[in-house]
Protein backbone atom coordinates (compact mmCIF):
# COMPACT_ATOMS: atom_id res chain seq x y z
CA UNK A 1 0.00 0.00 0.00
CA UNK A 2 1.34 3.41 -0.92
CA UNK A 3 1.71 6.11 1.68
CA UNK A 4 -0.26 8.48 -0.56
CA UNK A 5 -3.29 6.19 -0.33
CA UNK A 6 -3.56 6.82 3.40
CA UNK A 7 -5.51 9.71 4.88
CA UNK A 8 -2.55 12.00 5.42
CA UNK A 9 -2.01 15.60 6.26
CA UNK A 10 -1.32 17.04 2.83
CA UNK A 11 -4.99 16.66 1.89
CA UNK A 12 -6.18 18.06 5.20
CA UNK A 13 -3.57 20.78 5.18
CA UNK A 14 -4.54 21.97 1.72
CA UNK A 15 -8.16 21.94 2.81
CA UNK A 16 -7.35 24.16 5.78
CA UNK A 17 -5.60 26.63 3.47
CA UNK A 18 -8.97 27.57 1.97
CA UNK A 19 -9.20 30.50 4.35
CA UNK A 20 -6.32 32.11 2.48
CA UNK A 21 -8.81 32.83 -0.28
CA UNK A 22 -10.36 35.45 1.98
CA UNK A 23 -7.05 37.17 2.58
CA UNK A 24 -6.02 37.19 -1.06
CA UNK A 25 -9.24 37.52 -3.05
CA UNK A 26 -11.90 39.45 -1.14
CA UNK A 27 -10.04 42.76 -0.67
CA UNK A 28 -9.18 42.70 -4.39
CA UNK A 29 -12.76 41.93 -5.34
CA UNK A 30 -13.99 44.72 -3.14
CA UNK A 31 -11.69 47.25 -4.76
CA UNK A 32 -12.66 46.01 -8.21
CA UNK A 33 -16.31 46.38 -7.27
CA UNK A 34 -15.78 50.08 -6.81
CA UNK A 35 -14.34 50.31 -10.30
CA UNK A 36 -17.08 48.30 -12.00
CA UNK A 37 -19.96 49.45 -9.84
CA UNK A 38 -20.82 46.08 -8.33
CA UNK A 39 -20.14 46.96 -4.69
CA UNK A 40 -22.01 49.02 -2.12
CA UNK A 41 -24.30 51.63 -3.59
CA UNK A 42 -24.44 55.36 -3.07
CA UNK A 43 -23.04 56.89 0.07
CA UNK A 44 -21.93 53.50 1.35
CA UNK A 45 -19.76 52.97 -1.72
CA UNK A 46 -18.29 56.44 -1.35
CA UNK A 47 -17.39 55.78 2.26
CA UNK A 48 -15.80 52.40 1.49
CA UNK A 49 -13.68 54.04 -1.19
CA UNK A 50 -12.77 56.84 1.18
CA UNK A 51 -11.68 54.32 3.82
CA UNK A 52 -9.51 52.61 1.22
CA UNK A 53 -7.84 55.67 -0.31
CA UNK A 54 -8.69 58.70 1.82
CA UNK A 55 -6.94 60.43 4.69
CA UNK A 56 -7.86 59.97 8.36
CA UNK A 57 -9.17 63.55 8.39
CA UNK A 58 -11.42 62.93 5.38
CA UNK A 59 -12.80 59.75 6.92
CA UNK A 60 -13.46 61.49 10.24
CA UNK A 61 -15.28 64.32 8.47
CA UNK A 62 -17.41 61.84 6.53
CA UNK A 63 -18.40 60.09 9.74
CA UNK A 64 -19.28 63.39 11.36
CA UNK A 65 -21.34 64.42 8.37
CA UNK A 66 -22.96 61.61 6.43
CA UNK A 67 -21.27 58.21 6.66
CA UNK A 68 -22.54 55.24 8.68
CA UNK A 69 -19.45 53.71 10.27
CA UNK A 70 -21.11 50.31 10.60
CA UNK A 71 -23.00 49.96 7.32
CA UNK A 72 -21.87 46.70 5.64
CA UNK A 73 -21.70 45.83 1.98
CA UNK A 74 -23.73 43.02 0.43
CA UNK A 75 -21.23 40.47 1.80
CA UNK A 76 -21.50 41.79 5.32
CA UNK A 77 -18.08 43.43 5.14
CA UNK A 78 -17.92 46.59 7.24
CA UNK A 79 -15.60 49.56 6.76
CA UNK A 80 -13.56 48.40 9.76
CA UNK A 81 -13.09 44.93 8.26
CA UNK A 82 -12.01 46.51 5.01
CA UNK A 83 -9.37 48.80 6.45
CA UNK A 84 -7.78 46.14 8.64
CA UNK A 85 -7.72 43.70 5.71
CA UNK A 86 -5.66 46.16 3.67
CA UNK A 87 -3.64 47.31 6.69
CA UNK A 88 -4.67 50.92 7.10
CA UNK A 89 -4.10 51.31 10.86
CA UNK A 90 -4.61 55.07 10.84
CA UNK A 91 -8.10 54.65 9.37
CA UNK A 92 -8.87 51.79 11.73
CA UNK A 93 -8.11 54.14 14.62
CA UNK A 94 -10.57 56.71 13.28
CA UNK A 95 -13.31 54.08 12.88
CA UNK A 96 -12.74 52.70 16.38
CA UNK A 97 -12.94 56.20 17.86
CA UNK A 98 -16.28 56.53 16.06
CA UNK A 99 -17.57 53.37 17.81
CA UNK A 100 -17.23 50.95 14.90
CA UNK A 101 -18.67 47.57 15.86
CA UNK A 102 -15.60 45.38 16.47
CA UNK A 103 -17.67 42.20 16.70
CA UNK A 104 -19.76 42.57 13.56
CA UNK A 105 -19.49 39.51 11.33
CA UNK A 106 -19.52 39.24 7.55
CA UNK A 107 -21.48 36.54 5.73
CA UNK A 108 -18.76 34.01 6.46
CA UNK A 109 -18.76 34.93 10.13
CA UNK A 110 -15.46 36.76 10.02
CA UNK A 111 -14.92 39.70 12.34
CA UNK A 112 -12.55 42.65 12.03
CA UNK A 113 -10.18 40.87 14.42
CA UNK A 114 -10.04 37.82 12.17
CA UNK A 115 -9.35 40.02 9.17
CA UNK A 116 -6.65 41.86 11.11
CA UNK A 117 -4.77 38.62 11.84
CA UNK A 118 -4.01 38.27 8.14
CA UNK A 119 -2.18 41.47 7.30
CA UNK A 120 -2.64 44.26 9.83
CA UNK A 121 0.08 45.48 12.14
CA UNK A 122 0.10 44.05 15.64
CA UNK A 123 -0.86 47.49 16.93
CA UNK A 124 -4.19 47.22 15.09
CA UNK A 125 -4.89 43.84 16.66
CA UNK A 126 -4.06 45.31 20.05
CA UNK A 127 -6.48 48.21 19.48
CA UNK A 128 -9.27 45.85 18.45
CA UNK A 129 -8.79 43.74 21.56
CA UNK A 130 -8.68 46.89 23.69
CA UNK A 131 -12.01 47.84 22.10
CA UNK A 132 -13.50 44.57 23.41
CA UNK A 133 -13.16 42.44 20.30
CA UNK A 134 -14.35 38.91 21.08
CA UNK A 135 -11.30 36.66 20.88
CA UNK A 136 -13.20 33.44 20.40
CA UNK A 137 -16.01 34.15 17.94
CA UNK A 138 -16.19 31.29 15.45
CA UNK A 139 -16.70 31.94 11.75
CA UNK A 140 -17.55 29.43 9.05
CA UNK A 141 -15.67 26.16 9.37
CA UNK A 142 -15.20 27.11 13.05
CA UNK A 143 -12.39 29.52 12.24
CA UNK A 144 -11.26 31.84 15.04
CA UNK A 145 -8.86 34.76 15.19
CA UNK A 146 -6.22 32.60 16.85
CA UNK A 147 -6.50 29.83 14.27
CA UNK A 148 -6.26 32.40 11.49
CA UNK A 149 -3.17 34.05 12.97
CA UNK A 150 -1.42 30.69 13.35
CA UNK A 151 -2.36 29.65 9.83
CA UNK A 152 -0.93 32.92 8.53
CA UNK A 153 2.19 32.31 10.65
CA UNK A 154 1.76 35.66 12.42
CA UNK A 155 3.79 34.70 15.48
CA UNK A 156 3.56 38.12 17.12
CA UNK A 157 -0.20 38.25 16.68
CA UNK A 158 -0.67 34.67 17.87
CA UNK A 159 1.40 35.32 20.98
CA UNK A 160 -0.60 38.44 21.78
CA UNK A 161 -3.96 36.69 21.33
CA UNK A 162 -2.80 33.81 23.52
CA UNK A 163 -1.63 36.17 26.24
CA UNK A 164 -4.92 38.06 25.94
CA UNK A 165 -6.85 34.91 26.81
CA UNK A 166 -7.87 33.39 23.48
CA UNK A 167 -9.01 29.77 23.87
CA UNK A 168 -5.92 27.77 22.95
CA UNK A 169 -7.66 24.47 22.28
CA UNK A 170 -10.22 25.80 19.82
CA UNK A 171 -10.76 23.60 16.75
CA UNK A 172 -11.61 24.20 13.13
CA UNK A 173 -13.99 22.10 11.06
CA UNK A 174 -11.43 19.28 10.73
CA UNK A 175 -10.73 19.28 14.45
CA UNK A 176 -7.36 20.95 14.00
CA UNK A 177 -6.16 23.03 16.96
CA UNK A 178 -3.80 26.04 16.96
CA UNK A 179 -1.03 23.82 18.36
CA UNK A 180 -1.40 21.39 15.49
CA UNK A 181 -1.26 24.18 12.93
CA UNK A 182 1.76 25.79 14.58
CA UNK A 183 3.53 22.43 14.69
CA UNK A 184 2.82 21.80 11.01
CA UNK A 185 4.37 25.15 10.13
CA UNK A 186 7.42 24.72 12.34
CA UNK A 187 6.50 27.84 14.30
CA UNK A 188 8.43 27.21 17.51
CA UNK A 189 7.60 30.60 19.04
CA UNK A 190 3.87 29.96 18.69
CA UNK A 191 4.23 26.35 19.83
CA UNK A 192 6.02 27.51 22.99
CA UNK A 193 3.41 30.19 23.66
CA UNK A 194 0.57 27.69 23.27
CA UNK A 195 2.26 25.12 25.48
CA UNK A 196 2.90 27.75 28.14
CA UNK A 197 -0.81 28.59 28.04
CA UNK A 198 -1.75 24.93 28.59
CA UNK A 199 -2.58 23.78 25.07
CA UNK A 200 -3.25 20.04 24.93
CA UNK A 201 -0.56 17.87 23.37
CA UNK A 202 -2.91 14.88 23.43
CA UNK A 203 -5.69 16.40 21.32
CA UNK A 204 -6.43 14.60 18.05
CA UNK A 205 -8.04 16.02 14.95
CA UNK A 206 -10.74 14.26 12.96
CA UNK A 207 -8.22 11.89 11.38
CA UNK A 208 -6.47 11.14 14.65
CA UNK A 209 -3.49 13.41 14.08
CA UNK A 210 -1.83 14.88 17.17
CA UNK A 211 0.36 17.99 17.25
CA UNK A 212 3.45 15.75 17.23
CA UNK A 213 2.25 13.96 14.12
CA UNK A 214 1.54 17.32 12.52
CA UNK A 215 5.11 18.41 13.36
CA UNK A 216 6.39 15.82 10.89
CA UNK A 217 4.92 17.92 8.09
CA UNK A 218 7.45 20.70 8.69
CA UNK A 219 10.08 18.37 10.10
CA UNK A 220 11.12 21.06 12.58
CA UNK A 221 13.18 19.33 15.27
CA UNK A 222 12.77 22.11 17.85
CA UNK A 223 9.00 21.83 17.62
CA UNK A 224 9.05 18.07 18.17
CA UNK A 225 11.44 18.47 21.08
CA UNK A 226 9.15 21.03 22.70
CA UNK A 227 6.12 18.79 22.28
CA UNK A 228 7.86 15.72 23.69
CA UNK A 229 9.16 17.80 26.60
CA UNK A 230 5.53 18.72 27.22
CA UNK A 231 4.68 15.00 27.45
CA UNK A 232 3.46 14.37 23.91
CA UNK A 233 3.24 10.62 23.28
CA UNK A 234 5.62 9.66 20.46
CA UNK A 235 3.70 6.49 19.59
CA UNK A 236 0.11 7.68 19.25
CA UNK A 237 -1.11 6.62 15.77
CA UNK A 238 -3.75 8.23 13.61
CA UNK A 239 -6.89 6.43 12.44
CA UNK A 240 -4.85 4.63 9.78
CA UNK A 241 -2.24 3.50 12.28
CA UNK A 242 0.38 6.02 11.16
CA UNK A 243 2.80 7.14 13.87
CA UNK A 244 5.18 10.12 14.01
CA UNK A 245 8.09 7.75 13.31
CA UNK A 246 6.42 6.51 10.12
CA UNK A 247 5.55 9.97 8.90
CA UNK A 248 9.04 11.35 9.61
CA UNK A 249 10.58 8.36 7.86
CA UNK A 250 8.46 8.73 4.75
CA UNK A 251 9.05 12.48 4.53
CA UNK A 252 12.83 12.08 4.83
CA UNK A 253 13.31 14.05 8.06
CA UNK A 254 16.44 12.28 9.30
CA UNK A 255 17.16 14.41 12.38
CA UNK A 256 13.54 14.33 13.46
CA UNK A 257 13.35 10.58 12.95
CA UNK A 258 16.47 9.99 15.03
CA UNK A 259 15.06 12.15 17.81
CA UNK A 260 11.71 10.35 17.82
CA UNK A 261 13.48 6.99 18.03
CA UNK A 262 15.61 8.20 20.95
CA UNK A 263 12.43 9.44 22.60
CA UNK A 264 10.96 5.93 22.47
CA UNK A 265 9.36 5.81 19.05
CA UNK A 266 8.53 2.26 17.99
CA UNK A 267 10.30 1.54 14.68
CA UNK A 268 8.25 -1.61 14.11
CA UNK A 269 4.78 -0.18 14.61
CA UNK A 270 2.53 -0.96 11.64
CA UNK A 271 -0.43 0.72 9.99
CA UNK A 272 -3.82 -0.96 9.61
CA UNK A 273 -2.36 -2.40 6.38
CA UNK A 274 0.74 -3.68 8.21
CA UNK A 275 3.03 -1.09 6.62
CA UNK A 276 6.05 -0.22 8.77
CA UNK A 277 8.33 2.80 8.82
CA UNK A 278 11.04 0.79 7.06
CA UNK A 279 8.72 -0.15 4.21
CA UNK A 280 7.66 3.48 3.85
CA UNK A 281 11.28 4.61 3.78
CA UNK A 282 12.05 2.01 1.13
CA UNK A 283 9.09 3.18 -0.91
CA UNK A 284 10.32 6.76 -0.73
CA UNK A 285 13.81 5.63 -1.68
CA UNK A 286 15.75 7.48 1.02
CA UNK A 287 18.84 5.45 1.97
CA UNK A 288 19.70 7.71 4.92
CA UNK A 289 16.36 7.03 6.53
CA UNK A 290 16.62 3.30 5.85
CA UNK A 291 20.03 3.19 7.52
CA UNK A 292 18.70 5.00 10.58
CA UNK A 293 15.84 2.53 10.92
CA UNK A 294 18.09 -0.48 10.39
CA UNK A 295 20.51 0.82 13.03
CA UNK A 296 17.53 1.17 15.39
CA UNK A 297 16.70 -2.51 14.88
CA UNK A 298 13.78 -2.27 12.46
CA UNK A 299 12.61 -5.69 11.27
CA UNK A 300 13.99 -6.39 7.81
CA UNK A 301 11.37 -9.01 6.98
CA UNK A 302 8.25 -7.21 8.15
CA UNK A 303 5.43 -7.80 5.67
CA UNK A 304 2.53 -5.61 4.71
CA UNK A 305 -0.99 -6.87 3.99
CA UNK A 306 0.08 -8.01 0.51
CA UNK A 307 3.12 -9.83 1.83
CA UNK A 308 5.69 -7.32 0.58
CA UNK A 309 8.93 -6.96 2.52
CA UNK A 310 10.95 -3.72 2.65
CA UNK A 311 13.34 -5.16 0.05
CA UNK A 312 10.47 -5.81 -2.34
CA UNK A 313 9.24 -2.24 -1.83
CA UNK A 314 12.70 -0.90 -2.61
CA UNK A 315 13.00 -3.14 -5.68
CA UNK A 316 9.63 -1.96 -6.97
CA UNK A 317 10.77 1.62 -6.45
CA UNK A 318 14.14 0.95 -8.07
CA UNK A 319 15.96 2.48 -5.10
CA UNK A 320 19.41 1.01 -5.64
CA UNK A 321 21.17 2.57 -2.59
CA UNK A 322 18.30 1.36 -0.38
CA UNK A 323 18.54 -2.13 -1.82
CA UNK A 324 22.27 -2.12 -1.09
CA UNK A 325 21.69 -1.09 2.53
CA UNK A 326 19.07 -3.81 3.01
CA UNK A 327 21.27 -6.50 1.46
CA UNK A 328 24.20 -5.43 3.64
CA UNK A 329 21.95 -5.66 6.70
CA UNK A 330 20.97 -9.22 5.77
CA UNK A 331 17.60 -8.91 4.08
CA UNK A 332 16.41 -12.17 2.52
CA UNK A 333 16.71 -12.14 -1.25
CA UNK A 334 14.46 -15.15 -1.85
CA UNK A 335 11.45 -14.02 0.20
CA UNK A 336 8.15 -14.14 -1.70
CA UNK A 337 4.97 -12.12 -1.34
CA UNK A 338 1.43 -13.49 -1.42
CA UNK A 339 1.58 -13.88 -5.20
CA UNK A 340 4.96 -15.59 -5.16
CA UNK A 341 6.89 -12.52 -6.35
CA UNK A 342 10.45 -11.95 -5.11
CA UNK A 343 12.35 -8.66 -4.94
CA UNK A 344 14.04 -9.54 -8.21
CA UNK A 345 10.67 -10.13 -9.86
CA UNK A 346 9.51 -6.71 -8.69
CA UNK A 347 12.63 -5.00 -10.01
CA UNK A 348 12.28 -6.77 -13.35
CA UNK A 349 8.54 -6.25 -13.80
CA UNK A 350 8.81 -2.57 -12.94
CA UNK A 351 11.67 -2.02 -15.36
CA UNK A 352 14.30 -1.20 -12.74
CA UNK A 353 17.36 -2.64 -14.46
CA UNK A 354 19.99 -1.35 -12.03
CA UNK A 355 18.03 -2.70 -9.10
CA UNK A 356 17.67 -6.08 -10.83
CA UNK A 357 21.39 -6.14 -11.61
CA UNK A 358 22.33 -5.44 -7.99
CA UNK A 359 19.99 -8.13 -6.71
CA UNK A 360 21.32 -10.65 -9.23
CA UNK A 361 24.94 -9.87 -8.38
CA UNK A 362 24.11 -10.65 -4.75
CA UNK A 363 22.59 -14.01 -5.60
CA UNK A 364 18.91 -13.22 -6.11
CA UNK A 365 17.06 -15.60 -8.43
DSSP string, 86-106: TT-HHHHHHHHHTT--TT---
Distances (CA, A) of 280 to 289, 305, 354: 10, 13, 21
The pLDDT value given to residue 28: 53
**CA dist., res. 128 & res. 294, Å (int):** 54
pTM: 0.90
What confidence score (pLDDT) does residue 358 get? 97
Q: 3-state DSSP call for residue 361?
A: helix
The pLDDT score that the predictor gives to residue 194 is 98
Our measurement of the distance from residue 41's CA atom to the centroid of its chain's CA atoms, rounded to an integer in Å, reads 39
Positions in the chain whose pLDDT score sits under 70: 1-43
Q: What pLDDT shows up at residue 149?
A: 97
Provide the pLDDT for residue 218. 94
| Residue 156 C-alpha from the chain's centroid | 18
Model pLDDT, residue 119: 87
**CATH for 16-134?**
1.25.40.20
pLDDT at site 7: 41
Amino acid sequence: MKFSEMKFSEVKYLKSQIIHLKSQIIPCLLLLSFIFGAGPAGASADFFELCTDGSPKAVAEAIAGWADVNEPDENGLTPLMLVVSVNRPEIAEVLLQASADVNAQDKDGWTALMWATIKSDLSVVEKLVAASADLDIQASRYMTALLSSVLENREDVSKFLIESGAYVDTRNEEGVTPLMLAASKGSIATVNALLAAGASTDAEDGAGWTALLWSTVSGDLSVAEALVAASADVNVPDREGVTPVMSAAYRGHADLLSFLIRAGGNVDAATIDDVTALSLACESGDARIVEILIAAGAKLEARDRDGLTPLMAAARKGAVPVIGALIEAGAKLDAKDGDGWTALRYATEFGNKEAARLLTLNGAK
